[in-house]
Structure 1
Amino acid sequence: MTFSINKPTLAINKIDLLSKKQEQQNEQLSSGFKINSAKDDAAGLQISNRLSAEIAGLNRLSVNAQDQVNLNNVTDAQLSSITNTLLRVNELSIQSGNPLYSNSAIQIEFEQLTEEINLVAGHALGDSKFISGLDSSNPVATQNLITEALEAVASNSTDIGAQSNTLNSQISTYEVASINSRSSRSRILDTDYATAVSEQKNNNLLLQASLIIQKEDEDRKGLLVNKLV
Structure 2
Amino acid sequence: MASILNNISAMSSRRHLALSQSGLNSTIGKLSTGMRITKASDDAAGLQISNNLRADIRIMSQAQRNANDGIGRIQVADGVLEEATNLLTRAAQLAEQAASGTTSDAGRTAINSEFTEIKSALDSLNTNTKIDGIAVFGSTVDIRVGEDSGEVVSVATSEMSAEELGINDDEMSTTGDADTALGNILDAIKTVSALRGTLGAKQQRLNTIVNSLGITSESTQQAESQIRDADVAEEVVNLTKFQVLTQSGVSSLAQANQSAQSVLSLLG
Q: TM-score, normalised by structure 2?
A: 0.80
**Structure 2 residue aligned with 1:108:** 113
* Pair 1:125-2:137 in alignment: yes
Q: Which moved more, 1:147-156 or 1:38-47?
A: 38-47
Give 3-state SS (helix, strand or coil) of 1:168's partner: helix
The answer to whether the aligner puts 1:154 opposite 2:193 as a matched pair is yes
- What's 2:234 paired with? 195
Q: How does 1:47-196 map to 2 (within 5 A)?
A: 47-96=49-98, 97=100, 98-99=102-103, 102-122=107-127, 123=129, 124-126=136-138, 127=159, 128=161, 129-130=163-164, 131-136=167-172, 137=174, 138-196=177-235
Shift of 1:39: 2.0
Cα displacement string for residues 104-151 of structure 1 (whole angstroms, at most 9, x for unaligned residues): 111111111001012223445323433312311222111111111111
SS in 1 for 2:43: helix
1:192 and 1:163 mapped to 2: Cα distance? 44
Which residue does the alignment assign to 1:4?
5
Which amino acid in structure 2 is aligned with residue 125 of structure 1?
A: F
Q: Aligned-pair RMSD on alpha carbons?
A: 1.8
Does structure 1 residue 44 correspond to structure 2 residue 49?
no
- CA shift, 1:33, in A, is 1.1
* Alpha-carbon shift at residue 4 of structure 1 (Å): 2.9
Shift in Å, 1:6: 5.2
Stretch of structure 1 that moved more, 93-102 or 36-45:
93-102
Task: Provide the C-alpha distance between the structure 1 equivalents of 2:190 and 2:264, rounded to a whole number of angstroms.
Answer: 106
Q: Is the 8 A contact 1:110 1:134 kept in 2?
A: no
Preserved contact between residue 28 and residue 191 of structure 1 (Cα < 8 Å): yes
Work out the CA distance in 1 between the residues paired with 2:97 and 2:267.
Answer: 126
Q: Which has the higher helix share?
A: 1
Kept after mapping to 2: 8 A contact 1:5/1:221:
no
Give the secondary-structure state (helix, strand or coil) at the position aligned to 2:207: helix
Aligned-residue sequence identity (percent) comes to 25
Q: Which residue of 2 aligns with 1:18?
A: 20
Q: Specify every segment of 5 or more residues in structure 2 that has no aligned partner in the other structure, as ranges.
A: 130-135, 139-158
Pair 41,104 (structure 1): closer, same or farther in 2 beyond 3 Å: same
CA distance in 2, matches of 1:87, 1:228: 118
Separation (CA, whole Å) in 2 of partners of 1:210 and 1:43: 33
Question: CA, structure 1 residues 152+225, in 2 after alignment: closer, same or farther (shift >3 Å)?
Answer: farther
The answer on whether the counterparts of 1:82 and 1:121 sit within 8 Å (CA) in structure 2 is no
For residues 165 and 87 of structure 1, what CA distance do their matches in structure 2 show? 27
Q: Which has the higher strand share?
A: 2
Equivalent residue number for residue 153 of structure 2: none
Q: Where does the alignment leave 5 or more consecutive residues of structure 1 unmatched?
A: none
Q: Check whether the contact 1:38–1:45 (CA below 8 A) recurs between aligned residues.
A: yes
| Matched AA of 2:252 | I
How many residue pairs get matched? 229
For each residue in 1:198-228, what CA deviation from the matched residue of structure 2 results, as whole angstroms up to 9, or x when unmatched? Answer: 1110111122122211111111011124434
Distance 1:19 1:181 in 2: 35
Whether the aligned pair in 2 keeps the contact of 1:86 and 1:146 (CA below 8 Å) is: yes
Q: 1:228 to 1:64 in 2, by over 3 A?
A: farther
Q: Which amino acid aligns with 1:115?
A: S
